[in-house]
Structure 1
C-alpha cells in the first residue's frame, strides 16, 4: 500500500459531500426549532413530513432524496427568504447527491449499511480523524492482503459468502485509497489507536501480518505525513462498550463550520453523535459527551510515539520468527 499512489479530491462552499451537508443542515434545523417540539414543526407542515423523517433530517442521518421537502420545513420553522434560507436550501441539494460508496450498495445492503454510506461520506471532508479499533488494524491503514484476511474472519457467519466478501474488500480498498490521497492533498490529521494484541493476531498467516506491520512502521517513520499511530496497552476496560470508535472534526475557520461527529460501532450496532454547532449551540447529546470523554481518556493512557514504535517493532520481530 504505497502512500504516493493514493488519489483524492473535494470541492468547497456548499459543494460538500452529502453527509456533511446533511449534518450541517440538521444542526441548523435544530437551532431554528428552538424550544418547540419536533411534533409542532411537523404539524406546521400539515403533516407533509412525518415526525420520524423530520427527526432523522434534524439529526443529519439521511441523504435527502427530495430536497424540495426542506422548503416546506423551512416555512414551518418561519425561516424567511434571504441569504440564510438560500444557504440551507443549497445544503439540502448538496445532501441529495449520492456518495462514492453507494455503488457498492446495489443489492448488498447487508454488508454496506446506511451507517457505512454516511461514515464514508463524512470522511471525505473531515480534517481530523481520531480512530480506536479494537477488532483489527484500522481500515484506513490496512494493506489489501490484511483487509482480505480480516474480512474473512470478522464478517458474521451468515455473511461469509465469497461475493459479499469481495464487496466489503472493494469498499475498504476504495476508502483506504481516498483517505491516503487526502493525506497528500488536504493533510487531515489522523490519530489511530490500536490494541496491542492486534499486533500479534495473524489469523494463521504471519506473512500477511508482517507486511501489515511493516506498513504501519512506514507510516510511523514518515514524519511528513500528519498521521499518529499509538498502541493501546492499558488493560482497564473502556467505560462505554466500543469495538470501533471514530471522531471526525471539520474545518473550523469556515463561516459555517460543521459540528464534530462521533461514530460508535459495537458489534453490528452503529450510531452517530453530533457535537455542538460552533459558536451557536451547545452539545445536547449525552452520548456524545460520554464518548468524547472516553476519547480523552484513551489519549491520556496510550503510550507516546517512541514507545508505540517499539511495540510495533517487537511484534514484527516475533511475527518474522514465526515464519
Structure 2
C-alpha cells in the first residue's frame, strides 16, 4: 500500500505544536524507508546526515532546527517531488518552531531536559491522556504550593536552590494552565492514577497536601470537565519499576492521523515510545506494546470512581486532622 495513503492531504504542519509535527514526520520517514536499514538511508545522503540524527528524526525526538536537512533525507529515501513531498517539508518547518516551554530552558538544562520540553509540546494537542505517577500527584494537576513542596524534596540535592525550583514550578504551572484550557474546551480528556501512598505523603506540610487533595476532588466533581482520578490501592501494587507513565492519544481520522505516544520515566531516565501510524502495517515500538500492556493492567486492577474518591477523602480527613 503506498505511503501516500496515509497522507493527511491538507493542512500540512501549520498550527501543530512542534513535537506533534516531528512525531508525524518521523512516522512517515519510517514508512518511506520500508525494509531498508537506516544506515542505507544515511549512506544515500552522502553522510550529510549522521546516523544518530536520522534515527532521532524517525523517532520524532528532535525539534528540527535545520528543516532543509529533511529535504536531503527525502531525496535519499526516493520521495518524489510533489504534494506529499511538500507536505513532509511543511511538517519539518512546523517541527522547527520553538514551543512555549522553551523559555524555561535558557540556562536551566539540568532541570528542564529535552524530554520535558517534548512532553509539554505533545500535551498541547493530545486528545486523550492517561497519567500514572507513583511519586506525587501528576504535575499537570498540582497546585502551585504543592508543586513547590514536591519540587523541594524531589530535586537532587545539588539543584535545590530557589531559582531552579522556581523554573520547575513555573513550567508545571504552564502545563497545568494549558491543560485546563483544553479540558474546559473539551479538547482533551484525562484520567490520572496515583499510588495510594502519595495521598498520605505530606512532606511535613499537611495543610498543603489537604489543599491539593481538595483540588483533586473539586476537579473530579466538576462534571463539565472530562477528567477523573483513580487511586492505585495498596492491595494491588504495581510490580514494575516505573515512576511516571503517560500515554497520549491524538485525533484519528482519515484526513489527519497521529500515532499515540507513551512517555516512561524511571528515576532520572525518560523515554518516548511511538505506536504505529493508524491504518498502516507499521509495527509499533516493542517497548510501546509492553508499556501499553502495563496501562491496561492498571486500568483493570484499579478501584473505580467511588472507591477512589473514598480513599482520597480519607487521606484528606487525615491531613486536616494534622493541622
Fold shared per TM-score above 0.5: yes
* Map of 1:113 onto structure 2: 113
SS of residue paired to 1:119: helix
* Map of 2:134 onto structure 1: 134
Partners of 2:85 and 2:267 lie apart in 1 by 40
Q: 1:12 to 1:184 in 2, by over 3 A?
A: farther
The answer for unaligned runs of 5 or more in structure 2 is 1-10
Work out whether 1:309 is the aligned partner of 2:309: yes
* Map of 1:208 onto structure 2: 208
Say which is worse superposed, 231-240 or 70-79, in terms of deviation: 231-240
**Superposition pairs for residues 36-115 of structure 1, below 5 Å?**
36-115=36-115
* Map of 2:281 onto structure 1: 281
* Map of 1:124 onto structure 2: 124
Partners of 2:134 and 2:49 lie apart in 1 by 40
Deviation (angstroms), 1:283: 2.9
Partners of 1:64 and 1:13 lie apart in 2 by 13
CA contact (8 A) 1:234 1:302 kept: no
Deviation (angstroms), 1:182: 0.9
Per-residue CA shift, 1:278-304, capped at 9, x if unaligned? 001333421111100000000001111
CA contact (8 A) 1:234 1:301 kept: no
Taking only aligned residues, the RMSD between alpha carbons, in angstroms, comes to 1.4
Structure 1 segments (4+ residues) deviating >4 Å: 234-237
Q: For this pair of structures, how many residues does the alignment match? A: 313
CA contact (8 A) 2:202 2:209 kept: yes
* Map of 1:198 onto structure 2: 198
CA contact (8 A) 2:197 2:234 kept: no
CA contact (8 A) 1:240 1:291 kept: no
* TM-score relative to the length of structure 2: 0.94
**Superposition pairs for residues 21-36 of structure 1, below 5 Å?**
21-36=21-36
**Superposition pairs for residues 165-184 of structure 1, below 5 Å?**
165-184=165-184
Partners of 1:318 and 1:112 lie apart in 2 by 34
The answer for unaligned runs of 5 or more in structure 1 is 1-10
Partners of 2:33 and 2:240 lie apart in 1 by 31
Work out whether 1:156 is the aligned partner of 2:159: no
Per-residue CA shift, 1:68-92, capped at 9, x if unaligned? 1100110011100111111111000
Say which is worse superposed, 276-285 or 200-209, in terms of deviation: 276-285
Partners of 2:149 and 2:300 lie apart in 1 by 32
CA contact (8 A) 1:187 1:226 kept: no
Deviation (angstroms), 1:219: 1.0
SS of residue paired to 1:278: coil
* TM-score relative to the length of structure 1: 0.94
